[in-house]
Amino acid sequence: MYDLILKLSLRNRLFNLRDTTLVVSMIAVAISMMIALAGLYDGMTVSMIESTKRSDSGDVSIYAKDYRLNRELSNSISNAPTLVQNISKMEDVEAVTYRVSVDGLISTAKHSAFASIYGVDLPSEERFGSFSKFLKYGETKLDKRGVILSVELAKKLKTRIGSKVIFTTQDSTREINSIALKVRGVVQTTNLSLDKNAIWVDREVVATFLNIPSTTATQIAIIASHPTPLFEKLKSDYPHLDVKNFLELYPMIKQMQDMMGIFNSVSFVIVMLVVFIGIFGVMYVSILKRIREFGIMISIGMSYSKIRLQIITESLILALLGYILGAGLGYAILLYLNTYGLDLGSYATALESFGMNRYMYATLKSVYFSNTFIAIILSAMMSVMIPLRKIKHSKPVDVIKANA
């Protein structure tokens, strides 16, 4: 009996080939676009998170206890190299670097701006976050007087490669001190807080300039394969220091992730609504056309449950064909976007102002396909409820006479 129902369902879908093709195509396009959009939105968020981690905080950052409330050199970590060496031996740690940072004023002959100087070791930063990949123009070179500027700061100061700038701040003795620097390169990290006013100088040069030991650090940043257990271990091992994870340092990123999740959910519901309406329309019209056929089947002894099963099977055939085509197309789109990305060069300036890259790369997750499969099956089942009620409440004799 079940083989017969399956054959009848397939025959009816093939008999109405045009309607079947239209609905399957609609479902496939809707599913593929939804999967592609979900991957792009997640990829955009992941890209922002990764850029921020690589350029600044890592998965976990360590500060002196009061430094984040009062950014003075007196609130710094004094034995940074020893601490870094101990942390690098911990399980799950992939990279560690330390920096020294102070706020001050940077100026040229005609312009000036607020800036934060970061004393870094370039080889360490390269291992930590591939710093050279942030380079917009110039070179990532920090010689004795070299400086790398953030992109927005370079625009504000109207500097070029080779331009001279003066950075002025208060050193560890609370004296006003200045240092002359030459621009070697300009970087864009897509981290808004850095791109707005950061400059990078060799760590030894900054230590000398600020009259502090070269072992001093204001921040120790860590990249980890499993951040959560490492974060808990560091908090317990170093209670005298301020240990923060990524989301504690950047709560706005968490809010953005939540907003993207809501947006994805709304898009998902809209697409499933379109699928529901498409299947419902086809099945309702199909049943109206075949109402006499169903009446005859009931009058010769076929139970309502068998007819119901046939209609549900037809609906599932439409849904599954649409899902297979849509999932295949969606996978191909995600694979392409994951490899080559989507170039939004026309909107590059606007995207960069929000801390986003002009190239958007999609993520590829199995959950996109599993959630879509469950939703498409539910939509197919629900879309035939109203048509089935029409058959259930129809009397076979009246149906046959009305359509004779």
Coil, helix or strand for 92? coil
Residue 264: C-alpha distances to residues 49, 257, 261, 331 (Å): 18, 10, 5, 17
Can you give the pLDDT at residue 273? Answer: 81
Can you give the pLDDT at residue 101? Answer: 95
Nearest C-alpha neighbor of 40 from the set 344, 270, 271: 344
Can you give the pLDDT at residue 229? Answer: 94
Can you give the pLDDT at residue 224? Answer: 95
Can you give the pLDDT at residue 404? Answer: 53
How far is residue 187's CA from residue 138's CA, in Å, rounded to a whole number?
A: 9
Question: What is the full per-residue pLDDT of the chain (404 aa) written as tens digits?
Answer: 567 667 766 676 666 777 778 888 888 988 898 888 888 888 888 888 888 899 999 999 999 998 988 888 889 998 899 999 999 999 999 999 999 999 999 999 899 999 999 999 999 999 999 999 999 999 998 988 899 999 999 999 999 999 999 999 999 988 999 999 999 999 988 888 898 899 999 999 999 999 999 999 999 999 999 999 999 999 999 999 999 999 899 888 778 778 877 877 787 788 778 777 877 777 777 777 777 777 777 777 777 777 788 788 888 888 889 999 999 999 999 999 988 888 776 666 666 666 566 677 888 888 889 888 888 888 888 888 877 776 666 665 555 555 55
244 close to 60: Cβ distance less than 8 angstroms: yes
User: For the range 293-301, what are the long-range contacts, defined as Cβ-Cβ under 8 Å and sequence gap of 24 or more?
Assistant: 294/391, 294/394, 294/399, 295/394, 295/396, 295/397, 295/399, 295/400, 295/403, 296/396, 296/400, 298/396, 299/396, 299/397, 299/400
Q: How far, in whole angstroms, is CA 241 from its chain's centroid?
A: 31
User: For the range 11-18, what are the long-range contacts, defined as Cβ-Cβ under 8 Å and sequence gap of 24 or more?
Assistant: 12/286, 12/290, 12/314, 13/314, 13/317, 13/318, 16/282, 16/286
Contacts of 376 (CB under 8 A, 6+ apart): 27, 31, 272, 275, 319, 320, 322, 323
220 close to 84: Cβ distance less than 8 angstroms: yes
**Token pair recorded at residue 341:** 């990305």
Angle, vertex CA 326, rays to CA 322 and CA 331, nearest 5: 155
pTM: 0.77
> H-type helices in 53-148, by residue range?
80-88, 122-129
Can you give the pLDDT at residue 285? Answer: 76
Can you give the pLDDT at residue 395? Answer: 61
